[in-house]
Structure 1
């Protein structure tokens, strides 16, 4: 533990919200978004109030950049079938939370939704996915562009520049080979480790500020509890998967018994023990 850095999600909850540590998060966002990000403030929203990590195994942080953009960074450990919809809901809620009543719609700033997930979200083998919508003509396939006045008023080149931009980082798909500076950040997100040769923006600061030994004694205990809760959650999920698999094998064995197949055939197909198969025969 002494040589390893604390996890990024836990750091988001406890450490990265402090102005003195903005440079760590700025480095990560700059590498991912491919332009330099300077954080003006960390905001509160309904989605990130309170200590949600231990209960829901998730944590998020909401950033306002110096340009006024809103950047919602969320880490999710547990699989959720409706996670895509939750991404959409989170961004929609930000639009309504951060526009004042009576304020012109033109004051709405760009929103970036950055989702770091440690489960198999959707189908895909890559570890970084980027989405940015634009309007394409149904018949002519032409791109709907802003007028000159709109470009000048809002500082955009495409209509899509006004709309939310989503990123999904499927951390577990990363093969631990850092091919560029963004990969160095993905390596850290997956392994809580920064190699000496890494040069990505913000990682040197992360290496300096996110050391376990730099935590107070109370924060050390809280961090260790969070790791234990996470391990417990993973164990429970695996237990559920095993129960489902085992019940499926039992059902297959019952059907094979019903077909009159012998124990040896059933054992080979299901890997159940002969005693388990005999018990099933007696209970049918």
Structure 2
């Protein structure tokens, strides 16, 4: 079977203008790019409120769903809390939960959103409203579909919300490979943290990645992986501070995909960050993760699609 891909039209919240630092159109642009290649999508349901309570303060969840988040909290998140944003984030969480179930069934799956790793139990931050991976991990564990989860976070920013949510949860191993000099300034410890210096290049990054993956799998022995494939380590990213090329990102995604498949562990790919002004360039880079998982899980003798360099 082809790699399962999850998408919901609500991922692209029209209330966020193109002038915003967060390139919201990347979600619809990525979906269009994949449709042009003949891909079809599984459509998730919006996450029910009870699922959101598995990782977030119920009072905060209610405030988001009723568009009553106070102004200070909304500024910390970076979005005005509108009904469209609430619908978008519930769809994104539902998408990661569906992708997790599909990954367990098929070996891998992708949500064409997600990776909102700055959202903590108390509330959102850094363009992250609800922590979709945290919710999905808790749903999968509660439903008995896995026993040990690893979160492999390669977004350029430290996965602080995820680390704090699972700080005392032995069922979830959190690992973050990020730019140490970047936001957030306060980084609660993950189970495994590797911080790279500002300006790190492809070779620096990939060398660190190999050790990072070895450590993550060696210390966690997961039966489900969530892979945050943020493309903000790219050299043109406005918020990244690292210097990876397109080729470096492709190779990163290939190594992560092959490491998970080689260990026989189902993997859920989520998009994470990407902040270049050109939303179409960001969308194209996000497709690298889709290509890598498709190639790594393709049946022997069948060639998965790979985008041109």
Return the TM-score normalized by structure 2.
0.29
Return the TM-score normalized by structure 1.
0.31
Whose helix proportion is higher, 1 or 2? Answer: 1
